[in-house]
Structure 1
């Protein structure tokens, strides 16, 4: 059995990770870290796990991590995470980090967008970006995997093949993404209280959302040239899910071209579902799963290609993608512990 520990286990993504690892046939969870809930049984915090998870939360530091721990997940916010992860890396532990602290390849870009100092820019060169459909070989050998953000996952998966094969231009890409309230985290604030969210849809951080450089970094690598996007996120009154609608020029391409491109890149990938003509993704069809659904329309009247993707922000956008990365790191079947079908309705 692979022995796993979770730092920051009591946020939404940490809790989903606990649930997934409990069901994983090859994993033994050996510690759940939480300073806020130290000494409290995990199932008292998350009652959905009563009778399933019997662990009590501990406050863990690097010196108290058991030496036989095979993998550590850090589900802490940016800035806080790097201060915990760096000592673990120095001691030789393999880590999957949920924060943005190791996703960007240049410290100065991280420091500009996240307005905080990076503690060790040399580690950025060693970290592997954890998009398993694209970086499988690197993830398998990695000591540190930077789990992608939720918005970037929903945007990169549909766009990367098209840019890699030069089917679309590297400019004038307009992205509209809508996310459920769980993306704002578990702590209450004006962003996620009921009276502010219910019966309300709002755009926020237009042109300055912190996921923008992560998206542009990966798109530029695929395109082989600089890619700039216009990214507008929206908060909508649902618990979970992300729907991204991406608009770009359709000059010189046909539906068959795009279908062939997606088939070449994703035809054998377990968690990417390319929808046939006449169908478009919806968040409910991926809820509770590691799937990313992708559909598209070529609008001949406007000359635009419209690509739509849907993921569960807490799963393929975070926790189940982390488990997928772990499976790759340890040579397991990529689908291990992740075969559950989406929940409907």
Structure 2
């Protein structure tokens, strides 16, 4: 059994980890921490877990965490990097669902997250946890920076184009129009997240600049054949009045070669062996409810009026493939388990 610790168990990504791992056949949750709710039963805060666990939240105990095989950090940015060294030195693997180990450039991290990085040497060895791209590196990693939700949709939506032998689109024309449910902002008391503020409302945010922008550019540059392709990328996130779900629409101009290429077949071939990425049939319209509660990402392609614009539609559950499910996918790889273990969940409908 894999002995698991979860630091920060009271947020949405924390309880999502618990929900998934309680049904994982090779996992035992040894520690579930909360500095503010120590001593409270987990099912008292989250009644959906009644009858499934007797776990209680506990204070952070480094000795207990050091005895785990892997520790997930479902905490605000800046927490994991302060504890990672002790854990790694004790032989514990670390999977951080925040941003501490995503951006390789420490200056970029400090710019966007407003704090110095506590362990740049560990950042240098960390692996970006997008399995469909970094599978082999993840298997050997000690530290995983779990991707952000928006970056997951963008990178997987563009991967087949970046891996194509010829340039099929003009990458410098990329426009990313992305929407997320309110759970993406976390479980916190904030005026903009109140029901009367978020319900019956639809708004853009981070238009001047969003912290996922440099993460997206870093990932796309690493996959591409030429640096600087994405410097002019326009990324606009929106908050929509739903709890779960993410819908990312991307627009790119096709090259002459791209207009002659069967892009549907290109994408289907690229993801033929990826359980968690579904390239939908031509003419399909993906919906966020089709992935609710599951570690699934669905992609559809359009070329309106057979013109020179490619439209890529991507949906996922921001809390699962966009966060906790992907983290468990990474854990499975790190411990030599089938990648789908504990994650073969049928989406909820309606």
TM range (shorter): over 0.9
The alpha-carbon distance between structure 1 residues 89 and 339, as it changes in their structure 2 partners (threshold 3 A), is same
1:56 has 2:61 as partner: no
1:239 has 2:243 as partner: yes
- Distance, in Å, in 1 between the alignment partners of 2:260 and 2:346 is 28
Contact 1:163 1:170 in 2 (8 A): no
1:258 has 2:263 as partner: yes
Tell me what 2:102 maps to: 103
Contact 2:171 2:252 in 1 (8 A): no
The alpha-carbon distance between structure 1 residues 119 and 268, as it changes in their structure 2 partners (threshold 3 A), is same
Contact 2:126 2:141 in 1 (8 A): yes
Q: What do residues 137-194 of structure 1 show as CA deviations (whole Å, max 9, x unaligned)? A: 0000000011000111111101122123232222010001000010111112022101
Tell me what 1:334 maps to: 339
Alignment length (residue pairs): 344
Contact 1:6 1:73 in 2 (8 A): yes
- Distance, in Å, in 2 between the alignment partners of 1:87 and 1:176 is 40
Tell me what 1:16 maps to: 16
Tell me what 1:306 maps to: 311
Tell me what 2:46 maps to: 46
Q: What do residues 223-256 of structure 1 show as CA deviations (whole Å, max 9, x unaligned)? A: 1322221100000000010000000102322485
Q: Identify unmatched segments of 5+ residues in structure 1.
A: none
Query: What is the Cα deviation at residue 306 of structure 1?
Result: 0.4
Query: Partner of 2:196: helix, strand, or coil?
Result: helix
Contact 2:155 2:220 in 1 (8 A): yes
Q: What do residues 29-72 of structure 1 show as CA deviations (whole Å, max 9, x unaligned)? A: 111111111000000010100011210111123233252x1111
Query: Partner of 2:294: helix, strand, or coil?
Result: coil
Q: Identify unmatched segments of 5+ residues in structure 2.
A: none
Which stretch of structure 1 is more off in the superposition, 281-290 or 89-98? 89-98
Which stretch of structure 1 is more off in the superposition, 308-317 or 151-160? 151-160
Query: What is the Cα deviation at residue 344 of structure 1?
Result: 0.4
1:112 has 2:116 as partner: no
Query: Partner of 2:193: helix, strand, or coil?
Result: coil
Query: What is the Cα deviation at residue 132 of structure 1?
Result: 0.6
Which stretch of structure 1 is more off in the superposition, 69-78 or 304-313? 69-78
- Distance, in Å, in 2 between the alignment partners of 1:49 and 1:238 is 22
- Distance, in Å, in 2 between the alignment partners of 1:169 and 1:29 is 47
Tell me what 1:26 maps to: 26
Tell me what 1:214 maps to: 215
Contact 1:163 1:169 in 2 (8 A): no
Contact 1:6 1:31 in 2 (8 A): yes
Q: What do residues 59-90 of structure 1 show as CA deviations (whole Å, max 9, x unaligned)? A: 123233252x1111111111122112232223
- Distance, in Å, in 2 between the alignment partners of 1:75 and 1:249 is 38
**TM-score (ref. length: structure 2):** 0.95
- Distance, in Å, in 2 between the alignment partners of 1:142 and 1:15 is 25
Query: Partner of 1:316: helix, strand, or coil?
Result: helix
Moved over 3 A (4+): none
1:49-198 → structure 2 map (5 Å cutoff): 49-67=49-67, 69-165=68-164, 166-198=167-199
RMSD value, Cα: 1.4
- Distance, in Å, in 2 between the alignment partners of 1:138 and 1:207 is 34
Tell me what 1:283 maps to: 288
Query: What is the Cα deviation at residue 125 of structure 1?
Result: 1.3
- Distance, in Å, in 2 between the alignment partners of 1:141 and 1:207 is 37
Which stretch of structure 1 is more off in the superposition, 189-198 or 296-305? 296-305
Aligned counterpart in structure 2 of residue 230 of structure 1, from 234, 238, 248: 234
- Distance, in Å, in 2 between the alignment partners of 1:17 and 1:255 is 44
- Distance, in Å, in 2 between the alignment partners of 1:255 and 1:40 is 61
Contact 1:287 1:343 in 2 (8 A): yes
